[in-house]
Each structure stands twice: as C-alpha cells, then as structure tokens.
Chains A and B, each alone.
Chain A
Amino acid sequence: MTKIIIEPNWCKSCGICVDFCPTNVLELDISGKLKVVDANACISCKLCEIRCPDLAIEIEED
C-alpha cells in the first residue's frame, strides 16, 4: 500500500492537491487542515506531490 505523508507545518491549505487528485483521496476539513480520507484509492500518480508548491505532501511506494 502507498503511504501518504503530509507535513502539517509546511502545508498552507491551498487545496491544489485536493482539486487535482483524480481519485479524491484528499480533503480539506472544516478548519482547512489537509487530511487523507481514502488512502486505499490512491493510485500513486504523485500529482499532489509534484504540484504542491510547499513540498508538504509526499507519496511513498512500497
């Protein structure tokens, strides 16, 4: 299974990763904090990782 690592102190909640995720793995909660809602749906396309302007998200494949 892929591991989604989020660095909460670096994330600025811009939502770019959420909107570009093809399988809706990520979500911003009510307070604007980024969280993983469906880790199993992740297809490791790494679009979130390479589009993140703050290097705050990373996908690790086994």
Chain B
Amino acid sequence: MSKLDKYLRTDQMPHFACPGCTHGTAWAAMIRSIEQLGLDKNKTVMVCAIGCAGRLPVYLDFPSIRTPHGRALSYATGVKLANPDLNVIVFMGDGDASAIGGNHLIHTARRNLDITAIVATNEIYGMTGGQYAPTTEGGRFASTAPFGMIENQLDVCKLVEGAGASFVGRGDVYHVRELKDLIASAITHKGFSLVEVFTTCPTHFGRRNNMKKPSVLVEHLKNLTVSKKQAEKMTEEEVAGKLLRGILLKEERPEYVETYDRLAGFKEEGESV
C-alpha cells in the first residue's frame, strides 16, 4: 500500500523489529534516499550481516546478500571489485560494524572503495538480550552492565575518519528529514562513505534506562546531537558531551577501483569509470 512498495518484498512485511524500534526509521530513510536518487533497483546491491539492523535489508526487493557476522563490508568489497558499475550499500548495526567487524570497517575505509556503509547505532546488542556494545554511552545500563557502563564510548565516525574514509556523516532518527539527504549525499559520493545513524532500542536499552516509551527515547536523541552548523555558534561548554550531526568530513580522494583499473590498463587516464 505504501509509496515505497516497489522497493519492498511486501509479502514478507511487516518486518520483524520490535514495536518502536527505530532501526526501521533509519531503514526507511535509506529507502527514501534511494527513491530520491532514482537508483536502478537491479543495479543496487544490499549487503547485510547479522543482528537487528542486519536483518532489515532482507525485506527490500534488491539483489542482496546476507553474510557472516561483521563481514558485510568484506563481501561488499568483493561485489564492488567484481562489478564496479553496481551501487553497493551496506546496512549494519553498531556491534556488527564496530565490534565484530571492526577490522573490516577500518580496512574498507582505508582502501577508499566506493561503498556506502550505513551504521545504525542503538548502543546495545538487542537481538541477544541487551548486552552493552562498544558504542554504549558511559553510565548507561545493559544486561551485562547492571551497575552502569564503565568503558569509554567508541566514536565510529572518528574511527573511520582516522582510517581514511573520504565521507563521514552522522544523523539520528529524530532529525529524520536531514537523515534522508545525508544518506543521499553519502550514496552519490565517490569513495568510501559512512553514515552513522543514532537509533533507539526501547526493548532493551530503553527498558533498562528508564525510557521505555519509544517516543521518549527518540526525544532523548534530540538532545544527544547538535548539528555542525549550530555547534559553530555555540560555546565550548554548550557543545561538550554532544555529538556533532551532519556531514563531518567530505574529501575528494583517489577511489580504489579507478586507480586499480588505470594500473591494470582497463581504462585510460582521465576516462571516467
């Protein structure tokens, strides 16, 4: 019934996510940005792995691969190298991307291969019972952190920036209109692009952190992030503790497939790939 029906495997819907799980919102924003860009459904490959976020692209009517835990980016690398004409989009959860597949994330970013990675960060392992993730904020409760998280929070954006990605962005599901445009600009960027999307898990994160109501948890994201433009006008104390939102890094850098093709003699210098 939806306008987005042509992108969905409607016979599989509704999707499996818990009520109020905003991984779905991030996923829907991704579909809307694909629609906005008018990408060819048969030339766009969805790669996903394991976890709540990793299962969502299964409901999309695109050529897709479901891979072992954390290895989505490695498979995406293979797909892109075998057929550089394809748009490759990877949809992952935070644990999948930064913990289980952390090394793959670093090296895919380093290669600057033209892949778009969308990391849905809900700060918890929802599917396995609410264990804390590397991205869990200090002091938050999880099933394996009953007295509060004592480890430092991992900043996925800074990690890939350091590893050499040429496009890094951050969004959240409260500012969902911005998110759609952010994902669209990540897809059109030539080179490795990563968008970290802050999402919510009312079932495990919310329930343990006194924010059981889905909308309260989404509202909490509103105060967690601040847009890059806005932050420039604010004092240092006001920005402290908040995460920057928007395009954090955008650089033109030689893309892997282009360089490879030139070296292998597939394409002449200056010719577009």
Contacts and interface: CB of A to CB of B under 8 A. Distances in A.
B3 interface: yes
A53 B24 CA distance: 4
Nearest to A50: B176
B14 interface: yes
Contacts of B1: 5, 7, 58
B112 interface: no
B205 to A, nearest CB: 14
A55 B23 contact: no
A9 interface: yes
Interface residues of B, number: 30
A12 B17 CA distance: 9
Interface of B: 1-4, 8, 13-15, 17-25, 27-29, 32, 173, 176-177, 180, 202, 213-215, 218
Interface residues of A, number: 21
12 contacts: A5-B1, A12-B18, A12-B20, A13-B19, A15-B214, A16-B20, A50-B29, A50-B177, A52-B25, A55-B13, A55-B24, A58-B1
Contacts, number: 69
Nearest to A20: B215
- Dominant secondary structure at the A interface: loop
Interface in A10-54: 10-16, 18-20, 50-54
Given A7-B2, A16-B215, A58-B1, A53 B25 contact: yes
